[in-house]
């Protein structure tokens, strides 16, 4: 499957409204088995709501590429389009004022951006609009999710909040599709 783009297991495809075509051969991978274990009531345990994740083992599972499935089309990832103009430079200045380092690396692919807590890494060669939208998203993570509040939110909530901030800011500067 050298040209695979979207790979998932049988149940994941089913949950997305797709099914594996008859006769398709999956690829066996070793998937981690992770469990939540109760811990003592120390500060670190309170951050995880008294649960700690632990890798227990691996198990063989089969995965299939999207081309090996039929059914509902997958949701498209939105692309930010337009020209951010001088807002891009203003945003980079703001990031520097916050004391957040901004770097570029292709090692983060397929992610467009990553917030590391004091450092943001963006994928190089993004369009100006995509770079702006991604940087806004990552700055939102830096500002909203690097506090004690992080322990009170789930990853889904944090991603939704960052996407909402990026959408509003991109719309405000005249970009489409954020």
27-38 sheet: strands from edge to edge: 7-9, 51-65, 27-38
Residue range(s) in the chain whose domain bears CATH number 1.10.10.2910? 87-172
The contacts of residue 167 (CB under 8 Å, 6+ apart) are 178
pLDDT tens digits in sequence order for the chain, 178 residues long: 557 778 889 999 999 999 999 999 999 999 888 888 765 555 444 444 546 788 889 999 999 999 999 999 887 767 888 999 999 999 999 999 999 999 999 998 888 999 988 999 999 999 999 999 999 999 999 998 887 887 888 888 888 999 999 999 999 999 987 5
**CATH code given to domain 87-172:** 1.10.10.2910
Cβ 130 vs Cβ 83: under 8 Å: no
Cβ 37 vs Cβ 54: under 8 Å: yes
How far apart, in whole angstroms, are the C-alpha atoms of residue 133 and residue 144? Answer: 16
Q: Which helix (H) or strand (E) holds 147?
A: none
How far apart, in whole angstroms, are the C-alpha atoms of residue 159 and residue 167? Answer: 12
Q: What is the pTM of this model?
A: 0.63
pLDDT for the residue numbered 101: 95
pLDDT for the residue numbered 134: 94
How far apart, in whole angstroms, are the C-alpha atoms of residue 110 and residue 5? Answer: 11
First to last CA, the chain: 31
The contacts of residue 45 (CB under 8 Å, 6+ apart) are 39, 51, 52
pLDDT for the residue numbered 46: 47
Cβ 56 vs Cβ 33: under 8 Å: yes
Eight-class DSSP state of 96: H
């Amino acid at each position: 499957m050298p040209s695979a783009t979207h790979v998932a297991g049988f149940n994941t495809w089913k949950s997305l409204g797709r099914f594996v075509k008859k006769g398709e051969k999956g690829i066996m991978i070793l998937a981690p088995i992770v469990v939540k274990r109760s811990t003592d009531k120390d500060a670190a345990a309170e951050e995880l709501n008294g649960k700690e994740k632990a890798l227990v083992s691996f198990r063989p599972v089969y995965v299939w590429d999207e081309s090996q499935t039929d059914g509902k089309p997958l949701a498209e990832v939105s692309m930010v389009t337009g020209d951010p103009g001088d807002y891009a430079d203003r945003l980079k200045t703001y990031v520097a004022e916050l004391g957040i380092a901004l770097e570029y690396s292709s090692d983060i692919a397929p992610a467009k951006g990553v917030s590391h807590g004091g450092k943001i890494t963006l994928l190089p060669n993004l369009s100006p609009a995509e770079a702006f939208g991604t940087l806004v998203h990552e700055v939102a993570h830096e500002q909203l999710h690097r506090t004690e509040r992080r322990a009170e939110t789930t990853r889904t909530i944090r991603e939704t909040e960052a996407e909402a901030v990026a959408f509003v800011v991109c719309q405000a500067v005249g970009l489409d599709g954020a």
